[in-house]
Amino acid sequence: MASKDPLEKPSTGLADADIEAILGSRHPDPFAVLGIHQAGDKFVARCFIPHAAAVTAETIAGKAIGELDCLDPAGIFAGAISVRKLQPIRYRARNEGGEWIVVDPYSFGPVLGPMDDYYIREGSHLRLFERMGSHPLTLEGVDGFHFAVWAPNAQRVSVVGDFNEWDGRRHVMRLRGDTGIWEIFLPGVVAGHAYKYEIVGKNGEVLPLKADPFARRSELRPRTASMTTGEIEQVWEDEAHRDHWATIDPRRQPISIYEVHAASWQRRDNGDMLSWDELAERLIPYCDEMGFTHIEFLPISEYPFDPSWGYQTTGLYAPTARFGDPEGFARFVNGAHKVGLGVILDWVPAHFPTDEHGLRWFDGTALYEHEDPRKGFHPDWHTAIYNFGRQEVLAFLINNALYWAEKFHVDGLRVDAVASMLYLDYSRKHGEWVPNEYGGNENLEAVRFLQTMNARVYGTRPGVITIAEESTSWPKVSHPVHEGGLGFGFKWNMGFMHDTLQYMSREAVHRKFHHNDMTFGLLYAFTENFVLPLSHDEVVHGKGSLIAKMAGDDWQKFANLRAYYGFMWGYPGKKLLFMGQEFAQWREWSEDRALDWNLLEYPMHEGMRRLVRDLNGTYRRKVALHGRDCEGEGFEWLLADDRDNSVFAWLRKAPGEKTIAVVTNFTPVYRERYRVPLPVEGRWKEILNTDAEIYGGSGKGNGGAVQAERDANGNVSAVITLPPLATLLLEQE
């Protein structure tokens, strides 16, 4: 009998226009034509299987239910099948080379549901990392992977990979019109496959293949595809560690951070990077022995360009493949927690690189970034700036923060480049930026993002801290959101770093003219919860290492650095030191080589390492040195104005604890009878002296203790010996 529609193939319901659209990779909704469909009281199966010469439809269990007709030699088949209801089916395809089984992805229903749509539209979905990207799934008894990606302005999105010959015609996804999310379940796909998304833009243009924004694993550079991977299977043994940090106030705990670039801390003998397991074997015991409380990694999210150090990331959800699989990083964190070490990640939600496989122009439009380059392009780094005014972008970033905390048990996020987010005119000249709705330069959308992110992290992940790298005087960075703050737990004290290093670079004879460089910071030391950072930024780009910055000859450089470390560890605020500086590496840091560990063979360098170890130990044991790091009641000046001698002295205090006096002499002059005021009479024990011989110093000191006495006027003081270029810690007995 002749068909009513001359374009319709007999009994298939598939028009030539549909076939042409499928083969031309232009069909807007393949779920409407492929798969299993009801036609009256019968069912029809339609499929596209390239290279097939004949196709038999079968149930999932393998029962034959119909032979399909070849409608196009490119691989279009269709025909009636013997089933009673819509259900998943498979095809037995054959050609002269043999036969193979294809489970039909178009015979499965959607995985995402209406509640996903609701929370995604609202911007409040906090489990996106379990719904977006690629995840192993058993659907209606069939194993495979579910894929979901946001591309609201695309005409068509396909999953392509080594499982389908990178053919965008085979696995075109289903569009969820309410959210702009495309999804598909691909039966038979297992972990370990490379994949990307092939996207046709709104004007019909085929875009460069895109990596998955939510990919949890990526290929090793220079390859750029995402990888299917299973869920993290880690037997966590860190309950005691996490419970501790979830139940205390971190402002009143010792926090001493070792900042690490994982690719260059140490390397194998052949120059290759260490794996996470090798890092765990070496780095964790080292930090534990050195007395640090936390390891902070420069960004470990996937990034294409080694010299970016990870700060230009293309895969926020994927631990970089440079060090192995994601499970390796989970094992590292678990191992660190077992010995009481926290793990902090540098996190980059401010901007992203413009590599064509990344987020820029993702669906043919400015999706993740602002379309206006005055808000969407960073002139310093030539990167794209996230559109913080878009709910989907905020959800992408906030979920990422929650993801690292939940799936990998990280203890904190240090948020990079916060200042660049807060100011619309950051690094821009007049006319190159767009004022906010009130005419100001504050990026109100970024403010709301940071507040929301911090509120979510602190509200749902007890024990996790956030730290802002913020270099301006923006108020209340580390104050709660409900008090008008940004909600961070801590803020890097960039002023301390800048002023004190500037002072230390001056010859001792000139320091009396710059005394305020060392005292000014106490005017604002308790306005925020500060971390004192001697970070990677200070030892690159021609700045030299910390030891190289110090004034004087080699002996004075070492003595200056020892005195400076003692000054810093006695100063209010949490501590951060970049790798290599603990043993006074001479060379400027480079990301393409290991640290100069051979320097530890020399006594001056080994002495510096011992000093940092002992400073950490003293800082952790003595509550007076950390218990009120962020509160003014924990600090009291003893000598703030002895600029002629370049001497500084203060007290560190905590309720119910023994008081500690910190005294620093920043000149090479040995002072035998220097009088220091002290709060009470009696014996004060010298608990640390940076000039001790074990640290490479001259061995000058006070024989282990000094005696404070009251004079006729009622003033209490002690006559002490001040070693040259040294810091003393004296504890009340």
Determine how many CB atoms are found less than 10 A away from the CB of residue 729: 25
Token pair for 82: 């013997």
The alpha helices in 53-123, defined as continuous H runs, are: 114-122
Among the listed residues 238, 411, 469, 582, the single catalytic one is 469
Closest Cα to residue 473, out of 429, 428, 518, 521?
521
CB 174 within 8 A of CB 110: yes
CB atoms closer than 10 angstroms to residue 193 = 18
**Distance, CA of 335 to CA of 295 (rounded, Å):** 12
CB atoms within 10 A of CB 182: 24
Beta strands 64-72 and 76-81 are antiparallel
Burial 642-680 (b: 16+ CB within 10 A, else e): bbebbbbbbbbbbeebebbbbbbbbbbebbeebebebee
The residue written with tokens 């950051």 in the block is 426
577: CB partners within 8 A, 6+ apart? 256, 257, 258, 259, 534, 612
Could you write out the three-class secondary structure of 567-599? HHHHCCCEEEEECCHHHCCCCCCCCCCCCCHHH
Q: Comparing C-alpha atoms, which of 505, 550, 498, 535 is closest to residue 520?
A: 498
Helix (H, G, I), strand (E, B) or coil at 677: strand
Closest CA to 450 of 410, 400, 397, 403: 397
Residue 631, Cα to own-chain centre: how many angstroms? 29
Asked if 648 and 639 touch (Cβ cutoff 8 Å), the reply is yes
Query: Residue 189: how many CA atoms within 13 Å on its side-chain side?
Result: 30
C-alpha gyration radius of the chain: 32
For residues 425 and 441, give the distance between their C-alpha atoms in angstroms, rounded to a whole number: 6
Euclidean distance between CA atoms 390 and 80, whole angstroms: 47
Residues 6 or more apart in contact with residue 610 via CB below 8 angstroms = 694, 695
Are 675 and 716 spatial neighbours (Cβ–Cβ below 8 Å)?
no
Which residue in the list 212, 416, 470, 499 is annotated as catalytic? 416
469 is catalytic: yes
Burial of 202-227, coded b for 16+ CB within 10 Å and e otherwise, reads eeeeebebbbbbbbbbbbeeeebbbb
Count how many residues are written for the chain. 733
Q: How far apart are CA 523 and CA 697, in angstroms?
A: 32
**The two three-digit tokens of residue 311, written as one number:** 């700060």
CA distance 266 to 74: 54
SS3 705: strand
Amino acid, res. 515? H
Q: Determine what percent of the chain falls in helix, strand and coil, rounding each to the nearest 5.
A: 30, 30, 45
Residue 140 is among the residues annotated as catalytic for this protein:
no
CB atoms within 10 A of CB 165: 10
* Residue 480 identity (one-letter amino acid): P
Cis peptide before 152 (omega within 30 of 0): no
The tokens of 138 are what? 């058993």
Alpha-carbon gap, residue 423 to 426, rounded angstroms: 5
Cα separation, 608 vs 558, whole angstroms:
8
Task: Give the residue numbers annotated as catalytic, written as ranges.
Answer: 416, 469
